[in-house]
Amino acid sequence: FLCAFLQLFSLPGGHVPNCQEVRAVFQSLHPGSKWVPETPVSADLQVCQTKGPTCCSKKMEERYQVAARSNMESGLQVVSAQLKRLIIQNAAIFQAFDLVLRHGRNSTLTMLKSEFPTLASGAQSSVGQLFLDMSLYILGSDSTVDHMVAVLYGRLFPLTYRRLLGGSGTSVSEECVRGAWKDSGAFGPYPKLMMTRLSRSLLATRVFLQALNLGIEVVNTTDHLRPGRECSRSLLRLWYCPHCQGMLGPPACRGFCQAVMHNCLGGAAEVQPHWRSYIDGLGKLAGAMRGEQDMEAVVLRLPTMIKLALKHAVNTRSHLNTLVSGMCGQTPQRASRSVGSPPSQPPAAAARGAQPSSSDPDEDFITSLRGFSSFYSGLGEALCSREPAPVNHSLCWNGQEMTDYPGPGLKRLHPSSESRSNKPPEPVISQIIDKLKHINQLLQIVTVSEKRWRARSRGAGANGWSEEGEEEFESGDCDDEDECAGVSGLGPPPRRKRLRIFALSDNLAMDDFTFQEQLLTPRL
């Protein structure tokens, strides 16, 4: 009689639920649970509905739904962990630009102390302010590079006039002298050349760093997607409804799993084309950040540029004294001969402490990042691949029952399974798409502008400099008419690898190595 009774309530295929295993597994997750049936019962479940008896109660179904949401969240974090770690590590390394700026500041102060000792003490704060402004600009401040350089030379010229050129100490207005350096051409072409090179290199560094931090934000956003009500029900049907039929861990039909993940990801697949463009743009910018856009090479040569500018002023002291006296209402005075022109020094001396490293971390990073070019188009597949494979390659779970496992290339779905919807992306997904569009435009502007500028530079000859700044850079536009072509003693920056921070760190105290933590998202 008992056997006949159980046959009446058996599942399709003659399978009777064995609730003992389900009970043991559920109680291991929720110790002390009172609502787990020991034998199959008839229950009015909301999602895991069956034609026969079930091993689940309504309370169990609710608990399973919570577990399904948790599994989805942890699955996303596991799948994206390698990508996020890759970007975070390289963003942290790239933030060592602060170390490069500190090294440039120290080299500039050392140069002033050895070449122009009478200027060193008075110029220390001005030099420090320049490098601080450069750091803030890279971090996103609204200042311009032209203004930074103009402020530096505006502060240096009164010191130069008084201490190197023998200008009178009291009769000439300090404010007048401060503004006279531009009209007098006191420092020759070097301020404009400095503006042009810094504008290109600092802008490239700024955009690259912004792109890295946006990459962290994009991955972080999709990494923490929260399943909604419909998604939770779908995940429950995918992962835990088999338990209600006495089956622990049956493989889900691949098409069914992918449809569930597609709906649960809130349109994350829409990120894919923008994500691919982001990686391509990042790779192009990394390739362009050589030579004139190599922030480290430019910064390491700033002491040489400043030294040549000061030499230019010293060599034209008589002319400058006459001009300044005429501008500021003071009769010319005999120039002091106590200060001679400092001995020339090879331009490479300022960068002597840094040697190119044997490997390029940028290329390694971009190569690794390209391996994630299809990350968002394959996100659902990656989540489904974490599901157990069928043991006998014959049966799989389609959301309501076990059915024949589809062959390769087939996606057999149960009529009641999840279907792909054409809903617009979730607001949080739309937001990161907009941010990717914006950064992709910036990456394109910087890279394209660099290509146009390189073409014009090549047209000036191998050793000539025909530098015409692009409008996007707001640079000093130092060109042939400004006598910047073939500047004596200062050729184009060497094409060396960017941010050789570990080569520099050998000569610096490591406690001076500080990352800009505020760049990372608060959650990180």
Residues 6+ apart with CB under 8 A from 481: none
Instruction: Judge whether 492 lies within some domain.
Output: no
Q: Which positions ≥6 away from 282 have C-beta within 8 Å? A: 208, 211, 212, 215, 366, 369, 443
Residue 413 lies in a domain: no
Asked if 122 and 159 touch (Cβ cutoff 8 Å), the reply is yes
Q: What is the pLDDT of residues 344-372, one digit of tens each?
A: 343 333 333 334 343 456 778 999 999 99
In a domain, 303, yes or no: yes
Please tell me the pTM assigned to this model: 0.74
* In a domain? residue 507: no
Spatial distance between the Cα atoms of 98 and 513, rounded to a whole number of angstroms: 8
- Mean pLDDT score, 143-150: 94
Cβ neighbours around 521 below 10 Å, total: 13
Amino acid letter at 273? P
Q: Which domain holds residue 114?
A: 58-327+365-407+426-456
Can you give the pLDDT at residue 475?
53
68 contacts 232 by C-beta, under 8 angstroms? yes
- Residue pair 361/94 in contact (Cβ under 8 Å)? The answer is no
Q: Is residue 48 part of a domain?
A: no
User: Residue 465: inside a domain, yes or no?
Assistant: no
| Helices 272-288 & 190-223 angle (0-180, nearest 10) | 150
Span 430-456, pLDDT tens digits: 999 999 999 999 999 888 765 565 554
Total domain count for the chain?
1
The answer to whether residue 402 sits within a structural domain is: yes
Question: Where residue 331 falls among pLDDT bands split at 50, 70, 90?
Answer: very low
Structure tokens at 333: 């005075």
SS3 helix, strand, coil % of the chain, rounded to 5? 60, 0, 40
Tokens describing residue 494: 């060497």
The answer on pLDDT for 108 being more than 90 is yes
Q: Is residue 378 part of a domain?
A: yes
Longest dimension (CA), the chain: 126
> Which structure tokens are listed for 45?
């479940």
